[in-house]
Chain A
């Protein structure tokens, strides 16, 4: 005996073109839906990773000291204050702290930069602790310093481009009349490191006669630690200011959440379009088969049987379209990723579209669920067909 599923499938095959177009419509909607949901997850993950990759979550600087090279330039190189190197030990004693890296920023005036002269800033970093914290920094040429107090420099890409430096070249610290050998050129990172000239901290302390002095300390916090609590403890240290990237991250993520709502709204529109398409197709199919349904009922089919048959047709269409759309989403996720990267002013590193098995199943379930709801009205209309009326109406 023929099953209700076979009847439903045969019904769909009778109008192949229409069924195919409906499946394609559902597939496109499912593709958009799964890609948008994947983008929501992927973008947030990638952005979060980029922020974490900035190396340290908390920066401690001497109170009132500009902690960015740009700010230092704006202030005309003035306002540098120093902490004693012993502060690093005090910070390391907190259990929340995983690692610290001391930094010293110094600037010199170069009268031969422009008409009125300009400042050049150098950042002294610890060759042991700084590179692991900034693991995302890649080299275009060369590598990190070969010694703790080597007269060497690593240049950010932009700094090297301005100075036209390559590995093996020398740079001159104008006021000090000291040469440093360039041992590394960083690849572009899209961060302020691109414009920085890094020098081993001991070398820089020696050149500027600032032994045991620091302008900043980068702190990497244990993953499960309460950063806010640590910040409060750090404020107890004398004459320091605490700059927390955790706050920044939280604020950025709340901005991203707003964008997510917009993306989900677009996804909702995609679902609604698919829903209307399904209702239209099934309803048309019911209206065209008005007489046929009447005959089925006159032969003993109950309203529930007719309801189920129409509903199953909807489910088959949605399963096929949903499966195809999710498949397309999975297969073309890299292509979508590339397209989105071209459109976005800033795209974080890492995959922007994150579609896994779970998300694929959720999307398929959503599409089938929407299909079931969409099929309710046409199925209800079909179940209510009165045999005699339908046969007579078609005859007329």
Chain B
């Protein structure tokens, strides 16, 4: 039937063509259902705005090096690159900006881990959410009890954590976070790294580098250029 032929042809064009155009960009980390997830992570919010930003677009290799320095680890592998577009959600109550939500992809033991943080305007974690995790112990790391350990922490606390060695000084608040699934130590450490990276990116792109260890003249955040829609 001609109708069927046309549908198949259009399907193929989409697969071959427009799809390929879209696929050229690196994949970021979006909330699966932002309308639902934003309300859940930020009770009382009435709306959100999405901001897309990448390291390559905001500062290129120099910025990447700066972020790696702050993270204490280098970006690794095929997919952790400067051109990953980060999706940042600005959360509103009425007209008032009340916080941010941001997620990052992190390599885990058996797959990508998507770690989202809901932050207040000062960058303090209000809610922690692992959207995706493939692991035999996934239910422990995705449990609300595990997530609650992150609430109230900020980048200042996470500077004490070294993702390269997976260690934090005993006195730090990060060292107090306990792993609910010792068999999944790899994924636990990957989660901590993802949280630190997440906080650094928010600080860089949204908070104007409010949490730089030694305050410099460097600016950024919302006053910088951004891509938005």
> B176 interface residue, CB < 8 Å from A?
no
A163 touches B23 (CB 8 A): no
Measured in the bound complex, the distance between the Cα atoms of B21 and A165 in whole Å is 22
Q: Which of A171, A172, A348 has the most chain B CB within a 10 Å cutoff?
A: A172
A112 touches B133 (CB 8 A): yes
> A140 interface residue, CB < 8 Å from B?
yes
B109 touches A170 (CB 8 A): yes
Give the number of residues in A that approach B within 8 Å (Cβ atoms).
43
Total residue contacts A-B, CB cutoff 8 A: 113
> A64 interface residue, CB < 8 Å from B?
no
Chain B residues within 8 Å of A252, by CB: 9, 12-13
> A226 interface residue, CB < 8 Å from B?
no
> B209 interface residue, CB < 8 Å from A?
no
Closest to A185 in B: B78
> B106 interface residue, CB < 8 Å from A?
yes
> B35 CB to closest chain A CB, in angstroms?
12
B77 touches A164 (CB 8 A): yes
Give the number of residues in B that approach A within 8 Å (Cβ atoms).
43
* Contact status of A161 and B111, CB under 8 A, knowing A113-B132, A188-B20: no
B17 touches A346 (CB 8 A): yes
Chain B residues within 8 Å of A50, by CB: 16
| In the complex, chain A residues 25-47 whose Cβ is within 8 Å of any chain B Cβ | none
Measured in the bound complex, the distance between the Cα atoms of B8 and A35 in whole Å is 31
* Contact status of A190 and B20, CB under 8 A, knowing A162-B112, A163-B112: yes
A115 touches B33 (CB 8 A): yes
> A352 interface residue, CB < 8 Å from B?
no
B24 touches A115 (CB 8 A): no
> A364 interface residue, CB < 8 Å from B?
no
Closest to B110 in A: A172
* Contact status of A247 and B79, CB under 8 A, knowing A114-B131, A190-B19: no
> Beta-carbon contacts of B69-82 to A below 8 Å, as 1s and 0s?
00000000111100
Chain A residues within 8 Å of B36, by CB: 115
> Beta-carbon contacts of A220-259 to B below 8 Å, as 1s and 0s?
0000000000000000000000010101101110010000
Measured in the bound complex, the distance between the Cα atoms of B110 and A112 in whole Å is 12
Chain A residues within 8 Å of B216, by CB: none
* Contact status of A172 and B111, CB under 8 A, knowing A140-B78, A248-B8: yes
B16 touches A112 (CB 8 A): no
> B134 CB to closest chain A CB, in angstroms?
5
Measured in the bound complex, the distance between the Cα atoms of B16 and A51 in whole Å is 9
Chain A residues within 8 Å of B19, by CB: 190-191
Measured in the bound complex, the distance between the Cα atoms of B13 and A345 in whole Å is 11
Measured in the bound complex, the distance between the Cα atoms of B11 and A192 in whole Å is 11
Chain B residues within 8 Å of A194, by CB: 23
B134 touches A163 (CB 8 A): yes
Interface of chain B, main secondary structure: mixed
> Beta-carbon contacts of A324-347 to B below 8 Å, as 1s and 0s?
000000000000000000000110
> B142 CB to closest chain A CB, in angstroms?
6
Measured in the bound complex, the distance between the Cα atoms of B76 and A166 in whole Å is 11
B110 touches A171 (CB 8 A): yes
* Contact status of A162 and B27, CB under 8 A, knowing A115-B33, A247-B8: yes
A166 touches B23 (CB 8 A): no
> A212 interface residue, CB < 8 Å from B?
no
B6 touches A164 (CB 8 A): no
* Contact status of A161 and B79, CB under 8 A, knowing A114-B32, A114-B131, A172-B111: yes
B132 touches A114 (CB 8 A): yes
Q: Which of A51, A169, A190, A192 has the most chain B CB within a 10 Å cutoff?
A: A190
B18 touches A346 (CB 8 A): yes
Chain A residues within 8 Å of B177, by CB: none
| In the complex, chain A residues 274-300 whose Cβ is within 8 Å of any chain B Cβ | none
> B191 interface residue, CB < 8 Å from A?
no
| In the complex, chain A residues 137-161 whose Cβ is within 8 Å of any chain B Cβ | 140-141, 157-158, 160-161
Measured in the bound complex, the distance between the Cα atoms of B17 and A348 in whole Å is 8
Chain A residues within 8 Å of B109, by CB: 170
Chain A residues within 8 Å of B138, by CB: 111-112
Closest to A174 in B: B134
Chain B residues within 8 Å of A160, by CB: 78-79
| The residue from B5, B32, B111 contacting A164, defined by CB atoms under 8 A apart | B111
Chain A residues within 8 Å of B18, by CB: 345-346
A346 touches B21 (CB 8 A): yes
Known: A160-B78, A161-B78, A162-B27. 16 other contacts (CB 8 A): A111-B138, A112-B134, A115-B131, A158-B27, A161-B27, A163-B112, A165-B111, A172-B135, A190-B15, A190-B16, A190-B19, A251-B5, A252-B12, A346-B17, A346-B20, A346-B21
Residues of chain B touching chain A, judged by Cβ–Cβ distance below 8 Å, are: 5-6, 8-9, 12-13, 15-21, 23-24, 26-27, 32-33, 36-37, 77-80, 105-113, 131-136, 138-139, 142
Can you list 14 residue pairs at the A/B interface with Cβ under 8 Å? Answer: A112-B138, A113-B132, A115-B131, A161-B79, A164-B107, A164-B113, A166-B77, A170-B109, A171-B111, A171-B134, A172-B136, A174-B134, A251-B8, A251-B9
Task: Name the 7 nearest CB pairs between A and B, nearest first.
Answer: A346-B17, A190-B20, A112-B138, A164-B112, A251-B9, A172-B110, A164-B107
